[in-house]
Structure 1
Amino acid sequence: MRIVPLISLVLFILCLSNPVQGQENIGKKLADVRSPEVAANNTVTFNLVAPQAKEVYVLGNWLSADSPGGDKLRMTKNADGLWTAKQATMGRDLYLYNFLVDGVRINDPLNVYQIRDVSNVFNYFITNGAQAELYKTHAVPHGTLTKVWYPSAINHGERRMSIYTPPGYEGSKKSYPVLYLLHGMGGDEEAWPSLGRVTQIMDNLIAAGQIVPMIVVMPNGHTSNSAAPGNSEKGEYPVEFRTPDVGTGEMESNFMEIINFAEKHYRIKKGKKNRAIAGLSMGGSHTMVISATYANTFDYVGLFSAAYRLTDAANIAVYDNFDQNLLQQKKNGTALYWIGMGKTDFLYKTGETYRKKLDEIGMKYSYYESEGGHTWSNWRDYLVKFSGLLFRN
């Protein structure tokens, strides 16, 4: 009996019966089933091949208890074991979703496009038209996104940040203004580039002539982590939403090291009129405090669904001295102090109270109120609106 040809024959048969495809698994081709399918009118169809499943739903960030069908979209199965659900015309945006299969949440195996948000991984899709087109990669000149390590006094080592440089940066000697863009609690230096679609937004707005070309610096605001999960000396650590550094004031107190590094290593125009800072939620609080602490450093300030003071603890200088620093910031003046908030944001009252404080001291600001709540849908929109107002003076 010849063993080698028999083994080869068995392996060949197994390959033919294996539905998995990839560079290293060339086997039986799957039926042409795709998911999701986004129609021209933004109706979206979800598909899942799961013949043995008993109950399947779509879990999406556009669904809530107030949605017509509730917070889950039910899928139905045909005779071939294909589950399908159709979501009627959706808005023009980027959406996240998973499947719930017999009580177990899974990602869509037919959709390779995924985004991590804190400790969860979601599939995503982008619909068509209007604002959604800003979140897509189009045939326009492209900027460059790099991950940069810089020396930090916080952990006596190095920390990582993401930096976007506009199209043509590498081939020129031109200097640019800079936007420091801060993430929310649970985020890191990858949040704005992935969930916020910063490179796509910047490329598309620059190509359309709607914003001044700028450098965007996106640091990691959780000082107890030197980099995003899987990229630091901590290895594959459990990802936390609220890390021990929240409310310590370390990010705010040491922000000049980020500015100094960026201005030393990149062609950034110097001076207050060429610097902007903005952030969402926790990053909004950081922005509020940093811009007041360094009261003559930023001419443009953006608060996106901003939190206020991140701790009630005393003896943290950047918090305890905030009121007097804010007065100095008001005295020095800003070209733009911009506040964006959703009508159903859980921080709505916090924002209302803070605006009252600004009114009481006579500090000028611009206020934009949107529909929706504490969502990336709003924060991407705020970035588009805020960036269009920068460096026009």
Structure 2
Amino acid sequence: MRLNIGHEPLMNRRLYLRIVLAAVIAGLAPAAYAQPPAGRGGGPPAPQVTSSELLADRRVTFRILAPQAQAIRLAAGDIPGVGQTTQLTKGENGVWAVTIGPVNPGTYRYNFNVDGVSTIDPRSPFTSESNNNVWSLLHVPGSDFADTKNVPHGAVAAVHYYSTALGTFRRMHIYTPPGYERSNGKYPVFYLLHGAGDSDDSWSSVGRAGFILDNLIAAQKAKPMIVVMPAGHIRRGAAAPGAVARTATEEFVKDFVDDVMPYVEKNYRVLTDRGKTAIAGLSMGGNHALQVGIPHLNRFAYIGVYSSGLLG
């Protein structure tokens, strides 16, 4: 940068030079003079915490900074052998830690219980929603179909829509395959329904549906498709006077048929003929798949039911 100061008054030239000199000094100051960030109230900086940390032998260390806590447990029922009672040990720096494993490849939910209060891992950006909680996520690589690989990736979007059947806004997650945004073609559609303990977020978070589909499509084991993962639970309020009472399953079916499918067919490039439309579900979602699919066999060529009970 060049400053033209030759014709400025002496006072201005001195001011310019001071600014330039200050900028140079600030830019060249050695890092050794930089002060570490102070803790709250200007005290010493808090310890740096890494959690969860996957070790080379597939053991996993969980840590949380909680200097004032009296007891902390790891709640990780998804991880075999852990359960809800694994205790963390407090270090002198106020960091609690526990190492478990080795843990088999897969994706697992976990939380910390701090003095009786459930909390996600504040050092992990990865979360998953169940029916009534939010969990942190641990992914242990080693699964050929579920790992993140160097292949073309699709996208998973959280989509909000208004349900005319239920009179409220609802959310679903929708996967679009690699190249969808750059193409004009239409795709088969697969409606994937979650179980009673989960939410519309679960298939794409703890279930890693997007990564699995990316890998299968890249390996030519699946055709590019759009996957719709709607919310299976109905948040029911008081029925309007004179309204016909419906079960939660009946309300889900009405929302699905009247709102979910029309929204998808209007806003996404899906093939709507029967041979290109599938529905499947796990547990509660398996029952939902039956309740939607059987009365609408003219719409679905494929119905998948996994570990389902017949629930009302």
TM-score by length of 2: 0.73
**Residues 21-36 of structure 1 correspond to what in structure 2 (within 5 A)?**
29-36=45-52
Q: 2:268 aligned with 1:256, yes or no?
A: no
Q: CA deviation at 1:191?
A: 3.2
Partner of 2:27: none
Q: 2:146 aligned with 1:134, yes or no?
A: yes
Q: Using a 3 Å threshold, how does the CA distance of structure 1 residues 87 and 296 change in structure 2: closer, same or farther?
A: same
- Stretches of structure 1 that go unaligned for 5 or more consecutive residues are 1-14, 21-25, 226-233, 235-243, 311-393
Partner of 1:270: 272
Distance 1:163 1:206 in 2: 16
**Residues 1-393 of structure 1 correspond to what in structure 2 (within 5 A)?**
17-18=38-39, 29-62=45-78, 67=81, 71-131=84-144, 134-136=146-148, 138-150=149-161, 152-155=163-166, 159-185=170-196, 187-224=198-235, 246-253=247-254, 255-257=256-258, 258-310=260-312
Distance 1:151 1:114 in 2: 25
Q: Using a 3 Å threshold, how does the CA distance of structure 1 residues 31 and 150 change in structure 2: closer, same or farther?
A: closer
> Conserved in 1, the CA contact under 8 Å of 2:166 and 2:251?
no
Residue 55 of structure 1 aligns with an amino acid whose one-letter code is A
Residue 253 of structure 2 aligns with an amino acid whose one-letter code is E
Name the SS for the 1:72 alignment partner. strand
Distance 2:43 2:150 in 1: 35
Residue 39 of structure 2 aligns with an amino acid whose one-letter code is N
Q: Using a 3 Å threshold, how does the CA distance of structure 1 residues 274 and 28 change in structure 2: closer, same or farther?
A: farther
Residue 47 of structure 1 aligns with an amino acid whose one-letter code is R
> Conserved in 2, the CA contact under 8 Å of 1:222 and 1:246?
no
> Conserved in 2, the CA contact under 8 Å of 1:18 and 1:27?
yes
Q: Using a 3 Å threshold, how does the CA distance of structure 1 residues 99 and 16 change in structure 2: closer, same or farther?
A: same
Q: CA deviation at 1:253?
A: 4.1
Distance 1:51 1:264 in 2: 53
Matched positions, count:
269
Q: CA deviation at 1:157?
A: 6.5
Q: Using a 3 Å threshold, how does the CA distance of structure 1 residues 224 and 99 change in structure 2: closer, same or farther?
A: closer
Partner of 2:20: none
Distance 1:157 1:63 in 2: 36
Q: CA deviation at 1:53?
A: 3.5
Q: CA deviation at 1:116?
A: 2.4
Distance 1:290 1:151 in 2: 20
Instruction: Write the deviation string for residues 231-255 of structure 1: whole angstroms up to 9, x where unpaired.
Output: xxx9xxxxxxxxx975451222454
Q: CA deviation at 1:277?
A: 0.2
Q: CA deviation at 1:70?
A: 6.3
TM-score by length of 1: 0.60
Q: CA deviation at 1:300?
A: 1.6
Distance 1:28 1:245 in 2: 60
Question: Alignment identity in percent?
Answer: 37
Q: Using a 3 Å threshold, how does the CA distance of structure 1 residues 125 and 158 change in structure 2: closer, same or farther?
A: closer
Q: Using a 3 Å threshold, how does the CA distance of structure 1 residues 129 and 245 change in structure 2: closer, same or farther?
A: farther
Q: Using a 3 Å threshold, how does the CA distance of structure 1 residues 169 and 50 change in structure 2: closer, same or farther?
A: closer
Distance 1:127 1:150 in 2: 34
Instruction: Write the deviation string for residues 154-210 of structure 1: whole angstroms up to 9, x where unpaired.
Output: 135764433221111121122211101112336443333333322222222222222
Q: CA deviation at 1:140?
A: 2.5
Distance 1:157 1:56 in 2: 39
Distance 2:116 2:171 in 1: 38
- Stretches of structure 2 that go unaligned for 5 or more consecutive residues are 1-35, 238-244
Distance 1:160 1:63 in 2: 28
Distance 1:279 1:70 in 2: 26
Distance 2:71 2:169 in 1: 48
Instruction: Considering Cα pairs closer than 8 Å and 6+ residues apart, tell me whether 1 or 2 has the greater RCO.
Output: 2
Instruction: Write the deviation string for residues 65-111 of structure 1: whole angstroms up to 9, x where unpaired.
Output: xx3x7642222233333322110211111111122334433332332
